[in-house]
Amino acid sequence: MSATANKLSKNEDLKEASNFLRGTILEGLADNSTGAISEADTQLTKFHGIYMQDDRDVRAERRNKKLERAYSFMVRVRVPGGVCSPTQWLAMDKLSDDYANHTLKLTTRQAFQFHGIIKSNLKRSIQAINHALLDTIAACGDVNRNVMCNPNPEQSEVHAEVLKVAQQLSDHLTPKTSAYHEIWLDGEKTISSEPDVEPIYGKTYLPRKFKIVIAVPPSNDVDIFAHDLGLIAIMEGGKLAGFNFTVGGGMGMTHNNKATYPRLGDLLGFVKPEDVIKVVEAIVTTQRDFGDRSDRKHARLKYTIDDRGLDWFRGEVESRCGLKLEQPREFKFERTGDRYGWVEGTNGKFNLTLFVQNGRVRDDRELQMKTALREIAKIHDGDFRLTANQNLVIGAISPENKPAIEKLLAEYKLDTCFDRPGIRLNSMACVALPTCGLALAESERYLPDLVTELENAVEQAGLAHDEIVIRMTGCPNGCARPYLGEIGLVGRSPGKYNLYLGAGFDGSRLNKLYKENVKQEEIAKVVGPIIERYARERKDGERFGDFTIRAGYVKPVKVAKTDWWAAN
Ligand code: SRM
Ligand code: SF4
């Protein structure tokens, strides 16, 4: 299928030989002599939503003691559109206590993650997830991942409609192999007992991960332009007329490798609701057949499009689906991020968006968030919606149930958790240390402290209630979409970060490198004065990212490929 003449990457051989994602995973699980699985199987388990990791905090100590690394597994649960029921929430909560590290991680892509599951508990964990009618297949791997969708509490009717599209896309693009059921659910063949075929993916699946999101303007809470494929809902006369498609977004890059860069998606065309599945499938199969299978750093859709051109891509998609895409329709985004607090939906039900620092739901001395949400889930008659910014909406609360939920919120002090400075409410960090094997620096464990330092600058400048988007990652892969932060911090090495400035508040412009290798203790000293100057010199309504460009700190990035690495 691949059009490339270059030597295929190792992963391609692995996929081909895996018998539709089986490999030797079962044998590896049965091997009690180690907490690990084989290198080849670590690649294949990703397709099952499972990553082998080790506790990096104790890596050196264990090496010195000649002990095996402290292996455990991260498990990612797909939640299409981020919506789950209270019963499912309770099941996830219990699983985190029974088998994981007692925390629930709400990810930047509306999924749950569990950390610290040891090999002997993996099957039990996946089975518990299956009993809650959720799954982990295709949460990671070279396939379409969790389909994201704006949780949109204030427009419940539209939300229900676009959520349905997200769920249909998710179902349509889920791998059909029965390996998942055989391995994790002890051979329960709930899908089919026929021989495996992957009608969309084929034996070698996609060249790389693939991500789909749906946004409902004016909210760009899902960061539509950061993903391989974006669907922008177009409303006309109060009804869903269709979607503008964007293609070729992606955040990942590698320090000092100029062939890699974050890229915002381009507008491809307008698609009517009834044609969505057909066009999406044509996009996915085009990437399947033309994506670069020889170099995994050049394998995402963004590079296929930059190499071959958007017009070529559109032509290929049109000929595959037999449709001519219409011109994109008018739309306007106002902001990224979430709107906190209470909103009444058009259906008369209430929705509450809570701030969850870096998506980590846990109990600590200051806040018993995990217990509070468990108690709420026990009496809640609506749903929970995971947001694309690691936050949580307690959704569709009936008017009768609202007082009881408010009582619990007050009892556990969750009713004030969104009454915080705007910079904290717009902060987001990836997991990084100690679990992420790719982290070069701290992120989730450090950003809250940095924000506390910056809150001083913000408060002194009189900007406590102003929203400034700050995002941090422990490496350049971009898991918290840092290149779309008005302030972006990307780990270089322990205690050092590249500082990026100048992204658009509405998510339509990338930021740009301002200073390299800034030491942790110097970040607030560098950023603080820029915030103070912003407070003094900003124009009416001017956003921080726009100001940093006007004031000359950085130039605007227009075309990722040429501008991203260009000198300031
Ligand atoms: Fe990510 C790899 C965590 C969203 C780009 N990401 C990883 C791994 C699995 C590390 C690994 O490969 O060993 C991280 C696991 C850390 C841990 O201990 O949990 C990891 N990524 C995350 C999460 C949990 C961050 C978070 O704090 O919420 C997010 C899970 C999303 C989900 O539910 O599916 C997460 N990752 C993202 C995003 C943001 C998004 O999609 O909106 C991106 C940037 C967008 C993009 O894909 O371009 C992202 N992750 C990456 C990349 C770089 C991909 C690339 O094209 O270069 C990697 C590394 C890789 O794939 O080789 C990566
Ligand atoms: Fe790990 Fe890097 Fe992703 Fe952070 S950005 S979770 S450090 S891969």
- Taking the C-alpha atoms of residue 199 and residue 546, their distance in angstroms, rounded to an integer, is 46
Residue of the CA atom closest to atom 8 of ligand 1: 436
Tell me the CA end-to-end span of the chain in Å, nearest whole number. 41
Integer Cα distance of 229 and 350 in angstroms: 31
Residue with structure tokens 């750093």?
297
CA of 415 to the centre of ligand 1 (A): 31
Catalytic-residue membership of 140: no
- pLDDT, average across residues 30-35: 97
Domains detected in the chain: 1-8+144-337 (3.30.413.10), 423-563 (3.30.413.10)
Percent of the chain whose pLDDT exceeds 90: 91
What number is the average pLDDT over the span 126-139?
Answer: 97
Put simply, whether the predicted model's pTM sits higher than 0.95 gets the answer: yes
Q: Is 209 labeled as catalytic in the residue annotation?
A: yes
Helix residue ranges per DSSP H, 65-155: 86-98, 122-131
User: Does the Cβ of 443 fall within 6 Å of ligand 2?
Assistant: yes
Measured in Å, residue 472 CA sits from the centre of ligand 2 at 10
Q: Which residues contact 144 (CB under 8 A, 6 or more apart)?
A: 138, 169, 170, 173, 174, 206, 210, 211, 212, 284
H/E element holding 523?
helix 523-537
485-520 pLDDT, tens digit each: 999 999 999 999 999 999 999 999 999 999 999 999
How far from the centroid of its chain's Cα atoms is residue 510's Cα? 17
187 CA distance to ligand 1 centroid (A)? 30
In the sheet that 512-519 helps form, which strands lie side by side, from edge to edge?
Answer: 427-429, 470-473, 487-493, 496-501, 512-519
Cα separation, 386 vs 360, whole angstroms: 12
| Active-site annotation holder among 145, 208, 300, 385 | 145
Closest ligand 2 atom to Cα of 491: 7
Task: Specify whether 430 is catalytic.
Answer: yes
**Ligand 2 atom closest to the CA of 436, numbered from 1:** 1
Closest-approaching ligand to the CA atom of 108: 1
- Name 344's bridge partners: 350
Give the pLDDT score at 565: 85
Residue 5 clears pLDDT 80, i.e. is over it: no
Per-residue pLDDT reduced to its tens digit, 396-438: 999 999 999 999 999 999 988 888 999 999 999 999 999 999 9
Q: What order of strands is seen across the sheet that includes strand 50-54?
A: 50-54, 71-77, 112-117, 104-106, 360-361
pLDDT at 374: 98
Q: Whose CA is nearest to atom 56 of ligand 1?
A: 252
* Helices 276-290, 310-321: crossing angle, 10 deg rounding: 120
Look at residue 548 and give its three-state secondary structure: helix
Catalytic residue among 22, 211, 492, 512: 211
Ligand in closest contact with the CA of 147? 1
Q: Which helix (H) or strand (E) holds 491?
A: strand 487-493
Q: If pLDDT is split at 50, 70 and 90, which confidence band does 481 have? A: very high
Do 153 and 159 form a contact (C-beta atoms < 8 A)?
yes
Distance 432 CA to ligand 2 centre (A): 5
In this structure, the number of other CB atoms found within 10 A of the CB of residue 324 comes to 8
Q: How confident is the model at residue 190 (pLDDT cuts 50, 70, 90)?
A: very low
Which pLDDT value is given to residue 238? 86
Q: Which residues line ligand 1 (CB under 6 A)?
A: 51, 53, 74, 76, 107-109, 111, 113, 145-146, 209, 211, 226, 250-252, 300, 359, 390, 430-431, 435-438, 477-481
439 in contact with ligand 2, CB cutoff 6 A? yes
Q: Whose CA is nearest to atom 39 of ligand 1?
A: 479
pLDDT of 416: 82
Q: Does 335 participate in catalysis according to the annotation?
A: no
Q: How far apart are CA 515 and CA 553, in angstroms?
A: 10
Has residue 161 got a pLDDT over 50? yes
Q: Any catalytic annotation for residue 417? A: no
Mean pLDDT score across all residues of the chain: 95
Give 188's pLDDT tier (boundaries 50, 70, 90): low
479 counts as catalytic: yes
- Token pair belonging to 280: 């999406």
* pLDDT > 60? residue 189: no
